[in-house]
């Protein structure tokens, strides 16, 4: 009886496949230490995500618009403009970085406003029907309504994990898995959620880098006097009083 070398090789292959499936199955959990290592270098901008202060609306808009048009060519010019406008304006109302919300939407729907998942999630942020009422969504395919709902929902999740070291990561995992599922085990989350978190944060970092390039490409403002007329020497000029009006507080989601 001849020895068939292919049989043991086939057995080894099958056993390896089973082992890999076991290691990378969706139910496998990753410890917080592993998560920190995987997210290292990606989560540098957490503070700016949750305590966002707008710098220049037009620059933010340009960065988002260019990124969408370059990386998602199926999105029409008009939709890219509307999405960028809504994200910049609505995110600022909730003190959220629009690039973070854009990264979330990029992962969820690739900026396809008509997207529908196999589980019935709809629109840019892939929001489920049972959340429409709480998020004031009547038409999930409307760019403004869905963008606003997505912003409000992720803001609520960020607030729910406030004080946690991996606040942003757990908020994203909750968006993917559901907040109730995440609360069952607050020390870790499964590998599918981890990939989702890392993919989203990598997109966010790309948007941050693109914004820097947009800023660098803009010429420095040149000071030009508004008038060549000087005051008469016998008429003293008064110094301009500084604007001392208080800055109004921006309301945030509770």
Residue 113 maps to a domain: yes
- CATH code of the domain containing 190: 1.10.530.10
The pLDDT value recorded for residue 46 is 59
Residue 13 maps to a domain: no
pLDDT of 197 above 70 = yes
pLDDT in tens, 120-173: 999 999 999 999 999 999 999 999 999 999 999 999 999 999 888 889 999 999
Residue 16 maps to a domain: no
The pLDDT value recorded for residue 48 is 73
Residue 239 maps to a domain: no
Q: What's the whole-model pTM score?
A: 0.71
Among 108-112, 118-122, 240-244, where is mean pLDDT lowest?
Answer: 240-244
Residue 243 maps to a domain: no
The pLDDT value recorded for residue 53 is 80
Between β-strands 189-190 and 29-30, what pairing exists: parallel, antiparallel or unpaired?
Answer: antiparallel
The pLDDT value recorded for residue 9 is 58
Span 186-197, average pLDDT: 86
Residue 238 maps to a domain: no
Active-site residue identified among 29, 55, 66, 108: 108
pLDDT in tens, 37-81: 444 444 445 567 877 887 789 999 999 999 999 999 999 999 999
pLDDT of 108 above 70 = yes
The pLDDT value recorded for residue 171 is 95
Give the residue numbers spanning the domain of 190.
Answer: 31-216
Whole-Å CA distances, 66 to 70, 89, 133, 178: 6, 17, 33, 31
State yes or no: is 251 an active-site residue. no
Count: domains in the chain: 1
Measured CA to CA, the distance from residue 123 to residue 226 in angstroms comes to: 48
Residue 156 maps to a domain: yes
pLDDT of 22 above 70 = no
């Amino acid at each position: 009886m001849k020895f068939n070398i292919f049989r043991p090789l086939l057995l080894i292959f099958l056993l390896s496949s089973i082992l890999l499936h076991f290691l990378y199955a969706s139910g496998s959990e990753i410890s917080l230490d592993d998560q920190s290592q995987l997210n290292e270098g990606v989560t540098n901008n957490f503070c700016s995500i949750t305590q966002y202060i707008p710098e220049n609306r037009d620059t933010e808009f340009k960065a988002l618009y260019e990124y969408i048009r370059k990386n998602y060519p199926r999105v029409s010019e008009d939709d890219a403009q509307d999405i960028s406008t809504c994200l910049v304006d609505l995110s600022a109302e909730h003190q959220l970085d629009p690039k973070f919300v854009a990264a979330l939407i990029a992962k969820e729907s690739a900026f396809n406003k008509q997207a529908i998942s196999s589980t019935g999630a709809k629109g840019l942020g892939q929001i489920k029907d049972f959340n429409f009422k709480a998020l004031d969504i009547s038409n999930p395919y409307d760019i403004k309504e869905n963008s606003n709902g997505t912003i409000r929902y992720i803001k609520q999740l960020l607030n729910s994990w406030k004080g946690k070291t991996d606040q942003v990561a757990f908020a994203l995992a909750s968006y993917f898995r559901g907040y109730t599922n995440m609360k069952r085990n607050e020390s870790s989350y499964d590998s599918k959620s981890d990939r989702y978190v890392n993919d989203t944060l990598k997109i966010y970092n790309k948007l941050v880098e693109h914004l820097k390039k947009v800023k660098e490409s803009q010429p420095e403002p040149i000071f030009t006097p508004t008038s060549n007329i000087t005051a008469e020497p016998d008429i003293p000029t008064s110094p301009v009083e500084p604007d001392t009006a208080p800055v109004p507080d921006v309301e945030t989601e509770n």
